[in-house]
Structure 1
Amino acid sequence: MTRVPVLPTTVVGSYPVPEWMERLKTDYFRGRMSRAQLLDVHEMAIKAALHDQRQAGIDIVSDGELRRDNDIDYFLARIPGVEIKDTAKDFYFDYYEASLSEPLPEAEGTPLQLADDYAFTAAHTAAPVKFSFTGPFSLAHRVTEDVYRSRGDLVLAIARVLNREARALAARGAELLQIDEPFLAGYPEAVDLAVEAINIVTAEVPVTWALHVCYGNRYARPLWQGHYDFLFPAVLEARVDQLVLEFARKGYQDLPVLRKSGWDRDIGLGVIDVKSGEIETPDLVADRIRRALDLVPASRLIINPDCGLRNLPGSVARAKLSAMSEGAALVRGELSLPTETDLSADAESDAKENSHAVHR
């Protein structure tokens, strides 16, 4: 397993799409650009995003999700059986109208080809890579259908598709996979179904698994409000190693809820507000981490923004990531702990780690 510093820094997934790239992607959907040209644009942008992350001091990088037009379409458009009648878009970020006229075929194979996407990214960085994909609960909520007995049956069918993709990702060398469920906070009554689907996705895939749950981030606006207590106790049954949550925008009052509810695995701690253009200082980031250390041992904290960076200008995103890395380094220097850890946590040793010895 890849070694990373204690309090490793990472991103949630997406990276800013520059205006010129927005125009080119929209040109593609309006039929003014070839697919081969679009692929070249994606690859160039991914390599630039990897460079930016490493320059900012990020320990675990992502591809910036720059091949994806939004959090949904890249996946639904590739799932056999999903019908998209109009593939043109006025703006690349718009959602397709997706539908089903019959149940998804239970075919083998990996139609989403996510392992190829991971392999390209891994070939262009020496850093550990987090690879994220949208979860089955959120994907199902963008599909119109009346062929399943319940929406839950569709969620589970999509989960089986994603499990095959996850197996292929692991076979290509992926070590850290993240399931994003941006719609879940809007349907708190369905958390049991979402956890059942997550466990289908992660079944027999021996990697470190993260689950990201936020309150929405479309056009840098939250879609819902609330607290993370809705996840419990159901999420305790999820076969994942990390919960990646937003705290910088919402505040840290939910951290005691996680502890009280019995979450004893890793926490991806949101310390950067991605819905604000104001750039945090390293000292502010460090203070947010120290507050979390009052409740969570350092060995179980991963430091990340609240959510994806897609809606921020590139210069702002780079400055925020640099501040996040510098703030994590400040706290790391105050800890009486080993300087490195595995990407996967050891739950038994974590339970003994409460004497993290932060020198204030």
Structure 2
Amino acid sequence: MSRAEVGIPTEPIGSIPRPAGLLAAMADHAAGRIGDEELAAAQDRAVADTIRRLEEIGSPVVTDGEQAKPSFATYPLTGLDHLAPDGVVIPFADGHQRQLPRLTAGPMRYGVHADRYLRAALRHATVPVKQAVIAPSALSLLYPPDGIDGYPREAFLDDLTTEAEADIRGCLDAGAHRVQLDFTEARLALKLDPSGGVLEQFIALNNRVLDRFSTAEQARIGIHTCPGGDQDSTHSLDVDYTALLPALLRLKAGAFSIQLASEPEPDKVLAVLAEHLPGQARVFIGVTDPIDPRIETPEQVRDRVMAAARHLPVDRLGTCDDCGFSPFADDTSTSRDTAFAKIRARIEGTALAARELAG
């Protein structure tokens, strides 16, 4: 690529804080004060507003902001009844916890596939739409350690692989610009098991799904990793990133969205990325930190991109936010206006860097 042709793509990760009207509708629905139709209408208004605002600030790719998802991780479980609430607990650095449900019976089936959200977003968008899906490795945590009578773990993994493939393929077929697997449990796996055994199981399961796609399809699939970002806290920022990245980059995907803005030693991370970057994959580096209340300036973003360009080929480089701004629907720690201001800074700062690199 010549200097005159330098272009740096920039994409959102996924979730945007829900507007007050949607949060109120969710509360009313949970309390039985409104029905499914009223909730769906509130969700659609929030999706339309999210896409409108992203397009107004010049986002070349948009998402639905995950406005209709209960969380980035649990949307496939919507409507399922063979679940108990006492599943795996995920502790965060500030002391709060999130808990996954526990599967009590088979077979494993998704109650909702992500193409439902994508199709709703496409009705409102005039630019390409990216769709986030949960990685099968995260949902593998639903299976209890002591097993399920009549439903062995291997049968569960077979079913999960099929469902995860359908989740991704449905979005590709519906016209997603990119399908992003949210793999936030990757770094957490090394915290839970520093030997790397759990991480290797996660990588193997995700590749088991990705192997079902052609090379051309894999090019439209991305992987996102971060140390968690919920209620302005993380679950695994203290884990050495360089222990994760070589394994992560073995995933058979065309893009990797890597949290970096909040990383204390970005150059160390970038050096590892450069050493292990596979094939023709593109790396989208995080240039805004969703859990930092300070809004980055375009110049700060530009400088982060320029630092990355010292390690990575510019034609393999993109930018993103470190993670979603509200991965769980009840997370209101970041305001909606702050999220859009940070996204604007990412877009403008990326453009500044592209112009500077083009000379």
Same fold? TM cut 0.5 = yes
C-alpha separation in 1, matches of 2:315 and 2:154: 36
Contact kept? 1:82, 1:98, Cα under 8 Å: no
Match of 2:185 in 1: 183
Aligned length: 323
Contact kept? 2:136, 2:161, Cα under 8 Å: yes
Match of 1:268 in 2: 284
C-alpha separation in 1, matches of 2:288 and 2:294: 10
Q: Does 1:279 align with 2:295?
A: yes
Point out the more displaced range, 43-52 or 189-198: 189-198
- How far off is 1:306 after superposition? 0.4
Q: Does 1:204 align with 2:226?
A: no
Match of 2:346 in 1: 324
C-alpha separation in 1, matches of 2:286 and 2:153: 31
Deviations 1:152-183 (A, max 9, x none): 87456423211012222222222310000122
TM-score by length of 1: 0.81
C-alpha separation in 2, matches of 1:262 and 1:49: 33
Gaps of 5+ in 2: 1-5, 87-96, 191-195, 327-332
Counterpart residue type for residue 129 of structure 1: V
Structure 1's 142 and 29: CA in aligned 2 closer, same or farther, altered over 3 A?
Answer: farther
Match of 1:296 in 2: 312
C-alpha separation in 2, matches of 1:156 and 1:95: 26
- How far off is 1:145 after superposition? 6.1
Gaps of 5+ in 1: 87-93, 337-358
C-alpha separation in 1, matches of 2:161 and 2:62: 25
* Richer in helix (by share): 2
Match of 1:245 in 2: 258
Point out the more displaced range, 156-165 or 315-324: 156-165
Contact kept? 1:229, 1:257, Cα under 8 Å: yes
3-state secondary structure, aligned to 2:287 = strand
- How far off is 1:301 after superposition? 1.4
Q: Does 1:26 align with 2:35?
A: no
Match of 2:193 in 1: none
Counterpart residue type for residue 333 of structure 1: R
Match of 1:116 in 2: 116
Contact kept? 2:128, 2:176, Cα under 8 Å: no
3-state secondary structure, aligned to 1:271 = strand
Counterpart residue type for residue 289 of structure 1: V
Structure 1's 275 and 137: CA in aligned 2 closer, same or farther, altered over 3 A?
Answer: same
- How far off is 1:96 after superposition? 7.3
Structure 1's 230 and 159: CA in aligned 2 closer, same or farther, altered over 3 A?
Answer: farther
Structure 1's 236 and 183: CA in aligned 2 closer, same or farther, altered over 3 A?
Answer: closer
Contact kept? 2:181, 2:223, Cα under 8 Å: yes
C-alpha separation in 1, matches of 2:205 and 2:300: 37
Structure 1's 142 and 219: CA in aligned 2 closer, same or farther, altered over 3 A?
Answer: farther
C-alpha separation in 2, matches of 1:70 and 1:59: 25
Q: How do 1:1-360 residues align onto structure 2 when only pairs under 5 Å count?
A: 6-78=7-79, 82-83=82-83, 98-104=101-107, 111-142=111-142, 144=144, 146-147=146-147, 154=156, 157-188=159-190, 189=196, 190-202=198-210, 203-204=212-213, 206=217, 208-224=220-236, 225-251=238-264, 252=266, 253-264=268-279, 265-310=281-326, 311-336=333-358, 359=359
- How far off is 1:257 after superposition? 1.3
C-alpha separation in 2, matches of 1:276 and 1:150: 43
CA RMSD of aligned residues (A): 2.7
TM-score by length of 2: 0.81
Structure 1's 199 and 48: CA in aligned 2 closer, same or farther, altered over 3 A?
Answer: same
